[in-house]
A and B are shown apart, each in its own frame.
Chain A
Amino acid sequence: MSTQDDKAKEVSADGAAGPIILFFILGLAASLVLGWVIFPKLLYSQKKQPIDFNHVLHVEAVDEGCESCHFFREDGSFSGVPKLAQCVECHGDVQGENPNEIKFVNDYVANGREVPWLVYARQPDCVFFSHAAHVKKAEMECSTCHEHIGESEHSRVYEENRITGYSRDIWGKNISGLKSNTWDRMKMDDCAECHATKEIKTDVETLPWPLNWAPLPYEKQTGNQASIKTVKEACFVCHK
């Protein structure tokens, strides 16, 4: 009766609808594989640290735990990854038989050359970050952002984003951007998670770092309502 219906049936009968769906599914599947599996592999290059560093071994050997090597300088700034000068204090000569140490002493200490460590947590240059404010003032644990790195026996592979040049740790291992631990990601949203909720503890006079760069929100606080939420003018607290 209806010629149109017939035609549709004819098409169907020809088996033409099957390939369309099939190809849709193929396209869908291919893009999913591309987006979830191939893309991350292409996006990040794999780099090895110049020296395989054993944190466990070092933590056992030093007296003051993490702070033996990662300390605050007198002016409140954070030393970050140790410089050769600190390492030399113990590793002036080869101490044991560990091939990594031998390599370190021969290649770097002997030549007075800094180790080109690949820093997993390096933020873009436009980001201001004060360790003192977070560790000393807010009394946060190192592991909140840096996981339990002190328990690692080997340096893991450093994955570098081929577009931005930054470490994969900033976006997070999970390509979808989801995280299960606080240290899984280091994007601005992750900073904002705390900054949107936490209250500031003390007033500006007692800040443990030089006052001349006390960030604006601290100065703008009003009574007990003060928070570390970023106020409107506060972009330049974190961004250069």
Chain B
Amino acid sequence: MARPPTQEQFDEFAQVAWPRLYRSAYLLVGDHASAEDLVQTALAKTFGNWGRVRTLEAAPAYARQVLFNTAMSWFRKASWNREQPTEVLPDLGQDSDPTTRSVLLDAVAALPPRQRAVVVLRFYEDLDVRRTAALLGCSEGTVKSQTSFALDKLRTILGDPTLTLEVTQ
């Protein structure tokens, strides 16, 4: 088994990985407290499972996978789903600017959890369809269809009918 890093090495890794993981987590769960909890959980599990991580270089990708696995586990909780209604889309009014950042984050937060995870992985983490499918444990076809549904919904919310997807691998 790979030797665990020293606390100093792990702290250094955690400090470097923290901002990126935190932003992914925030996009996934939509609030600061849950995002912080999610990343703390992912980092602690990464350290606890160092035998599979093996090297500090591999740790960021491992921590990302644990973060998404943990988030998907949270999403399966009935309480989480009840707290995240997605049927009613936010009324953005006539003056909404589709390029306004908070509006985009609100729109992403309004997606159902699986679609949100696909959007974050494909458009924020920049993973291709295959890697996204592997990370979420679903088929590439599911990733493609979830991406399509998500973009449909984002179009509706953002009022931008020109939002298209170039299906890239």
A and B held together in a complex: no
A residues neighboring B (CB under 8 Å): none
B residues neighboring A (CB under 8 Å): none
